[in-house]
Amino acid sequence: MSSILIAIVVLLVLASVFGIILGFAAVRFRVEGDPIVEQIDALLPQTQCGQCGYPGCKPYAQAIADGDAINKCPPGGQSTIDALADLLDVDAIPLDAEHGEEKPKTVAYIREDECIGCTKCIQACPVDAILGAAKQMHTVIVSECTGCDLCVEPCPVDCIDMIPLPVTPANWKWPAPVSDPSLILTDRGRGQLLQGASQ
């Protein structure tokens, strides 16, 4: 009988000790905010373009955490979807065409002669990448521009172009080696021969 009592007492003591430790840890190591939202947000391209239908990347990250689809981000494209799928352990799905398509990276360019200095694009820019003042010519800080397109629409004189980033030796990427589809050496060139014969 006493052994049962001892067991119960020991278990109770253990339970209370661990309870205290857990309770302390819950207060001491409390995580502010939802860590998964932060992780999702870190994967999104931070263009803040709103093409997903949310007013920025963070709200979309929140929405994904709440169960929204992961394929609504055209600037991130397939690589972002893959990364999100990897993080959330769901299947990677193709980009939802409803929200736009994956385009090459662009930056905004203001045709400065035509700019009337209305400051509307400055107000639209989510990352403060446009410099200028009322009735003064505006210009884009290229290194800060995320290419979100948001400044194009408010411009009353349509003087903003989205131009693709130029490829320079500094940002040039090695291309993937193309693998030859004809695996057998003697097959090479046969397709051309056949084509030549049919003509």
Partner 1 sequence: MSRIFSFHGGIHPPENKKQSLGADIRLAPIPTQLILPLQQHIGKAALPCVTIGERVLKGQKIAEANGRISSSLHAPSSGIVTYIGPQPVPHASGLESDCIVIDTDGLDEWTALSPILDYQSMNKMDLINHIRDLGIAGLGGAGFPTDVKLHLGDDHIVNTLIINAAECEPYITADDALMRERSDEVLAGIEIIAHLLKPSHILIGIEDNKPQAIKALDHALRTSTLNIDICVVPTKYPSGGEKQLIQLLTGIEVPSGSIPADIGIVCQNVGTTAAIYRAIFKGEPLISRVVTLTGYALGHRQNYEALIGTPFTTLLEAAEVNRKALFRLVMGGPMMGISVNDERIPVIKTTNCIIAATKDEMPPAQPAQPCIRCGMCEQVCPASLLPQQLFWFAQGREFEKAKHHNLFDCIECGACAYVCPSNIPLVQHYRFAKSEIRTEEFEQQKASHARIRFEARQARLEREAAEKELRRKERAEAAAKQQAERKLAEAAPKEVSTDEEKATQLKQLKTAASVARTKLKKANDALKNAREKGLEGIDKLEATILLLEQKANEAQQAWIDAGGEQN
Nearer to partner 1 by C-beta: 145 or 160? 145
User: Using CA atoms, how far apart are residues 101 and 164, in angstroms rounded to an integer?
Assistant: 15
Q: Is 169 in the site for partner 1 (CB under 8 A)?
A: yes
User: Using CA atoms, how far apart are residues 168 and 164, in angstroms rounded to an integer?
Assistant: 12
CB of residue 41 to partner 1, shortest distance in Å: 7
Among 27-35, 36-44, 94-102, 110-118, the segment contacting partner 1 (CB under 8 A) = 36-44
User: Using CA atoms, how far apart are residues 45 and 154, in angstroms rounded to an integer?
Assistant: 23
Which residues from 40-99 bind partner 1, rule CB under 8 A? 41-42, 44-48, 56-57, 79
Dihedral sign of CA atoms 123, 124, 127, 133 in order: negative
Q: Is 177 in the site for partner 1 (CB under 8 A)?
A: yes
Asked if residue 23 lies in contact with residue 70, where contact means CB atoms within 8 angstroms, the answer is: no
Among 28-36, 110-118, 177-185, 190-198, the segment contacting partner 1 (CB under 8 A) = 177-185
Nearer to partner 1 by C-beta: 98 or 144? 144
CA-atom Rg of the chain in angstroms: 28
Torsion of CA 104, 42, 44, 149, to 10 degrees: -70
Query: Among 89, 173, 192, 199, which residue sits at the site for partner 1 (rule: CB under 8 A)?
Result: 173
**How many residues bind partner 1, per CB under 8 A?**
33
**Residues in CB range of 138: below 8 A, 6 or more apart:** 110, 112, 115, 117, 119, 121, 122, 130, 131, 132
Query: Among 176, 195, 197, 198, which residue sits at the site for partner 1 (rule: CB under 8 A)?
Result: 176
Residues belonging to the binding site for [4Fe-4S] cluster are 49, 52, 57, 73, 115, 118, 121, 125, 145, 148, 151, 155
